[in-house]
Amino acid sequence: MIELAAIVVDSLVYASWLFIVSIGLTLIFGVMNVLNVAHGSLYALGAYTAAWAVGMYVSGAPDAGFELLAIMLVAAVVVGVVVGLLIERGVLRWVYGRDEIVIVLATYAVFLVLEDVMKLIFGPESYIAFQPRFLFGTISVAGIPYVGYDLLLVPVVALIGLGIWAAIHRTRPGKLLIAVIHDREIAAALGINVTRFFTVTFLCGAFLGALGGALSAPLISVVPGIGVELIVLAFAVVVIGGLGSVEGAAVGALLVGLGRTAAVFFRPELELFVVFVVMTVVLAVRPEGLFGKPKARRI
């Protein structure tokens, strides 16, 4: 019984983390049809910047409290806006309209550049920002003590997800966005500024990627190479749910979270396999993902 509770809680925590690091990827794809490989760099940059900022602040104020969370948020906003703007205005807008795979290659090129930029800025050593993780003490669930920060990820991420869903489905800009998603030419003809929607969507997606990184900074040690591991994992999550679907990303995160936690408990060596097995099975049965819509056949 205690084992079951542990698996459920661990899965939820892990699924929340998966959701927050992959939601930006699916958002950008859903609106712009761009698979943003540089999402991995945004995540890594967010993590680096947050870890660095927290480290700087703590060295000046050793008994820092909840302001650390604000610092992490600011780090994510700065990274998302600055780097997001650079990528979208500097690179992506020149390749809109080209082949899907060419756009992926362009974001891959950006990813390569950012990998080295990060090494030049932050060096090869690892950054650890553990302080925020102990702000909330421990909370016990079914007799098992958990780190409060990890548990609180679940409601916070659920709120963020709901917020995104509501922003798309319950607000005027959201409705306009849906029009842009369905047919960008008709939307433009109706007077919607599609270019601005693209830029804003990309900035939001970039911010979410950086936020995922910033929230992860206390959980991991921030080292070179975390970006590529993340992009592969996040891609699996959003593909399972259906590229471009927010609900799908949530379901994908839950499935992968459950599968991976069960693997960690029973067969740890299968940990990585489970993710890709789930992905392969889903893609074999439903090539568009669980919540994806099949494309119209064009003759």
Partner 1 sequence: MTRLRRVRLTTVGIAVATAALLALWPLLPAWAAHTVAVSLGGGLVVLGLLILIRFGLVSFGQGLFFAIGGYAAALANQFLGITDMLVLSVAGIAAAGAVAWALGYIVRGHRGIFFAMLNLAFSMILFGILAKTVVLGSTDGFSVGVPTLLGFAPDPEAGRLTFMLFGYIVVFTAVVAWWVDRILASPIGYAGQGVRENELRLRYLGVSARGAVHIAYIAAAKLAALGGVFTVLLIGHVTPEDTAYWTKSGEFVFVAILGGSGNVAAPFIAQTVFELVRTFALQYAPDAWQMLLGITLLLVILFLPGGLWSLADRLRGRDA
Interacting residues with partner 1 (CB under 8 A): 35, 91, 94-95, 98, 100-102, 104-106, 108-113, 115-117, 119-120, 228, 232, 235-236, 239, 269, 272-273, 276, 279-280, 283-284, 287, 297-299
Pick 65 or 123: Cβ nearer partner 1? 123
CB of 206 vs partner 1, minimal distance in Å: 17
Pick 37 or 153: Cβ nearer partner 1? 37
DSSP 297: P
Pick 1 or 296: Cβ nearer partner 1? 296
**How many Å is the maximal CA-CA distance in the chain?**
66
Pick 67 or 229: Cβ nearer partner 1? 229
The residue with tokens 């542990």 is 6
CB of 42 vs partner 1, minimal distance in Å: 15
Strand partners, 138: 147
CB of 115 vs partner 1, minimal distance in Å: 5
Q: Would you list the DSSP string of 14-30?
A: HHHHHHHHHHHHHHHHH
Pick 119 or 175: Cβ nearer partner 1? 119
Q: Please give the torsion angle defined by the CA atoms of residues 11, 12, 15 and 21, in that order, rounded to the nearest 10 degrees.
A: -130
The span from the CA of 239 to the CA of 252, in Å, is: 8
CB of 273 vs partner 1, minimal distance in Å: 7
CB of 240 vs partner 1, minimal distance in Å: 12
The span from the CA of 76 to the CA of 55, in Å, is: 15
The span from the CA of 123 to the CA of 117, in Å, is: 9
CB of 67 vs partner 1, minimal distance in Å: 35
Token code pair at residue 154: 């679940």
Pick 12 or 27: Cβ nearer partner 1? 27
Handedness of CA 88, 89, 91, 97 (dihedral sign): positive
